[in-house]
Amino acid sequence: MLSLRYGSWWLGFGLSALVMILAVALLPVATPIPVRAGDKVLHFLAFAFLTVWFLGLFEWRMGWRIAALLVAYGVLIEVLQSFTAMRLADSYDLIADVSGIATGWLLARAGLRHWCQWVEGALGVTPP
């Protein structure tokens, strides 16, 4: 992990986001999303966010591992959904996940991977 003053907090938030996304993915759908293919948009946005988030915490050389772990996480969600009565596994969800990861990767490559350092710098925090 990068040398960050609040690195463990940033990591904890990211891991909490993973748990929350998994919980939401396994809960029954209470209200339909009023956008055509809205669940695919949510998958895309969630995985783009997760990619940028975690790439901001680790060395760039770890990027491929992070991307692979996020793909595995997307597969895990679909497998677990296949065991629920209210949700269905959907290969298009996985395509949206991978598209989000690719977009997050490109955004991180364009400079957003420094988000955590920018935030800590703006807060006047010095690295440990």
pLDDT in tens, 89-114: 899 999 999 999 999 999 999 999 99
Instruction: Evaluate whether residue 32 is within a structural domain.
Output: no
Instruction: Evaluate whether residue 2 is within a structural domain.
Output: no
pLDDT at 85 over 90: no
Instruction: Report the pLDDT averaged over residues 68-82.
Output: 97
* Contact between 70 and 50 (Cβ < 8 Å): yes
pLDDT of residue 33: 64
Domain span holding position 54 = 7-27+37-122
Q: How many domains does the chain have?
A: 1
Instruction: Evaluate whether residue 53 is within a structural domain.
Output: yes
Structure tokens at 13: 């938030």
**Cα(55)–Cα(52) distance, rounded to whole angstroms?**
5
CA distances from 26 to 9, 29, 65, 81, 127 (A): 26, 9, 25, 6, 38
In this structure, the chain runs to a length of: 128
pTM summary value: 0.92
